Amino acid sequence: MKIIVTGGAGFIGGNFVQYMVNKYPQDRIINLDLLTYAGNLETLKSVEKSSNYSFIKGDIADRKFIFELFKEIEPDVVVNFAAESHVDRSIEDPEIFVKTNVVGTTTLLDACREYGIKRYHQVSTDEVYGDLPLDKPEMFFTEETPLHASSPYSAAKAAADMFVLAYYRTYKLPVTVSRCSNNYGPYHFPEKLIPLIISRALNDEELPVYGKGENVRDWLYVGDHCKAIDIILKRGKEGEVYNIGGHNEKTNLEVVKTVLRVLNKPESLIKFVADRPGHDMRYAIDPAKMETELGWKPEYTFDTGIVKTIQWYLDNQDWWKNIISGEYTKYFDKMYKGRVI
């Protein structure tokens, strides 16, 4: 099979490409990525010389390019990870999120219609559901929860999901959608919470935490996510949505303190900063459909996954130090300087 993985130089996409290249040597894995700020080909060093792997630089919103690519490759499967994905950045510049996350998705769908496809899979997020109240821990997101996006990022992802499902109903395109909780693990771009805390704590730098750190997220180890998508591609039902969660709810402050404890760093590094606009309070996924219909369960708890993740960052400091030495430094200053409360 020929499988195009868009956004394969990003965090989750890069992990998925490595997983697929290693697990399915008989398949051809084509990594399509524009290499914007979070795209990093160093993530793919372990597979870049594999005979079943290739990389193509390109924009999924470039209709002419995408149609020519599909005509040439004739892919059997498309897995779309490509997205602008950081909520803070979406607040600063919503337009690029519409271009990549919505127009890019419809461009891929139209190419699939034109040239045929066995499966198009859209990788989405639990953020399309909005948030849950902190005082109702019994409430979870299910696949039937109405979409209620809170940020420009989640609004763009929700719109993309709706287009994917509309193409199934209107054109009978063979699609599936997965919505995951917060991922963590190797190759995570340093602007996100866990790698940000690890990298700054190792340098004894202040650790910015929004508000009081009470926001709750359900954490999913990226390797478990990759396995879940693989299972959906094999056994998932066309036109269906699948929630992928880790059963690991933690407040942001709990996450930060856990990282500090493992690294043997003081909690005095924590600095609370003014909260971002519209910050969702709680995400929590019910993955029962994945577990009962497809037989998937996460292998890692947060306690086992975070130790593995921290060790990876300790063993691969060149990877993340190369990133934070560049443009990311300017971005960090823009987002957090002057917000201490």
Active-site positions read 126-127, 153
The dihedral over CA atoms of 338, 339, 340, 341, expressed in degrees to the nearest 10, equals 130
Cβ neighbours for 222, distance < 8 A, ≥ 6 positions apart: 11, 12, 15, 183, 184, 185, 186, 188
Tell me the three state secondary structure of residue 257. Answer: helix
Instruction: Taking the CA atoms of 77, 1, 43 and 303 in sequence, report the sign of the dihedral they define.
Output: positive
Could you give the CA distance from residue 196 to residue 194 in angstroms, rounded to a whole number?
5
Per DSSP, which regions of the chain are E strands? Answer: 2-6, 28-33, 53-57, 77-80, 119-125, 175-180, 182-184, 207-210, 216-221, 240-244, 249-251, 270-273
Nearest to 227 by CA among 180, 193, 182, 187: 180
The single-letter DSSP state of residue 288 is H
Which residue(s) pair with 209 in the sheet? 272
Most distant CA pair in the chain, distance: 57
Residue 68 tokens read as 């020519």
Q: How many residues does the chain have?
A: 341
Could you give the CA distance from residue 62 to residue 70 in angstroms, rounded to a whole number?
12
Radius of gyration over alpha carbons of the chain, in Å?
19
Residue for token pair 């290739």: 54
